Amino acid sequence: MTVTGSTKVLAILGHPIGHSLSPLMQNAALEVLGLPFVFIPFAVSPDDLPTAIAGLKSLGVAGFNVTVPHKKSVVPLLDEIDPSARMIGAVNTVKNDNGRFIGYNTDAPGFLQSLREELSFQPQGASVLIIGAGGAARAALHALAAAGIKSVTVANRAEMRARVFCGNFKDSFPNVDMESSDLSLLANEASLSSFDLLVNTTSVGLDGSAFTHFAPASSLVAYDMVYGVKPTPFVQAIRNAGGSAVNGYGMLAAQGEKAFHIWTGVAPPAGLMKKILMEAVCAA
């Protein structure tokens, strides 16, 4: 990749950022297509986010990703928010549109794409269990509800948070039955087997940790947003019981593909970002 005087800049802002695989997969796709962009990581602390955003605007960057812990706090710093990102309350992709910063959420559609591609999951009429009630759960619920699921149960360590969470979405998706629960539901094999899909949106598993009481029935289908070199205990337990479970690499690649399209106006080569991610993981 040759950087010239007319190369446009894309970036990712996070804290920490050193672990991010986005620069690798975005630059690979830019290079294959020969597009005049370069993608750069920036470690930005929460206190510095407003000045960093103002700086990116002064510098005229073409667009950027925001990741943990900035996905919510970036929202009031932008000029316009896409309606679905507004409803989710989080932005992961920003495009510079003639000096105006427009925020999008590509995590939600990336999650749906990954569900279809990796688990052949069709959301219409499905009954889903979402574990967790934070920002990642909001993106999952928005994506699934907009895609036509019939019902969702939100199970969270702090059940009150799950209840508030469902209450916040009820008016937007009146056709979706919503229930809340605590994590004791995970120990109930019969209840678990009534769901067409389980989604873990919590960070449990990131450090190899497991849910305290989890009784996977056979034939469960599950998506774990956590990703790492090894399958999480959640994914492993479901596979051991005979079910299907995948981790979040597909979502990471798919949100990146959608962001790339927003910035450059063209789709990256199909499957390239996922391939780059898997190569990086295997080499780690």
Give the residue numbers annotated as catalytic, written as ranges: 71
Q: Does 148 bind ligand ATR (CB under 6 A)?
A: no
Among 135, 243, 250, 256, binds ligand ATR (CB under 6 A): 135
| Subset of residues 94 to 133 that bind ligand ATR, contact rule: CB under 6 A | 132-133
The burial of 244, by beta-carbon neighbours within 10 Å (0-12 exposed, 13-18 middle, 19 or more buried), is given as middle
Residue number with the shortest CB distance to ligand ATR? Answer: 134
The one segment of 42-50, 81-89, 153-161, 172-180 that binds ligand ATR by CB under 6 A: 153-161
Closest approach of Cβ 157 to ligand ATR, in Å? 3
Among 57, 86, 150, 161, binds ligand ATR (CB under 6 A): 161
Tokens of 132: 């967790």
User: If binding is defined by CB under 6 A, does position 134 make contact with ligand ATR?
Assistant: yes
Cis? peptide before 16, omega within 30° of 0: yes
Residue 138 CB partners (closer than 8 Å, separation 6+): 88, 89, 90, 165
Q: How far apart, in whole angstroms, are the C-alpha atoms of residue 49 and residue 171?
A: 32
Q: Does 157 bind ligand ATR (CB under 6 A)?
A: yes
| Token output for 169 | 């979405």
Among 136, 198, 273, 277, binds ligand ATR (CB under 6 A): 136
Cβ 134 to ligand ATR shortest distance, Å: 2
- What is the C-alpha to C-alpha distance for residues 4 and 254, in angstroms, rounded to an integer? 29
The neighbouring-strand residues paired with 127 are 151
Q: Is 163 in the site for ligand ATR (CB under 6 A)?
A: no
Residues whose CB falls within 8 Å of the CB of residue 255, separated by 6 or more in sequence, listed in order: 92, 93, 106, 107, 109, 110, 111
Residue 30 or residue 144: which is nearer to ligand ATR going by CB? 144
Q: Which of 22, 65, 202, 232 binds ligand ATR (CB under 6 A)?
A: 202
Of 158, 266, 267, 278, the one binding ligand ATR (CB under 6 A) is 158
The residue whose two tokens read 């080569």 is: 269
Name the residue type at position 173: F
Contacting positions for ligand ATR (CB under 6 A): 132-137, 156-158, 161, 201-204
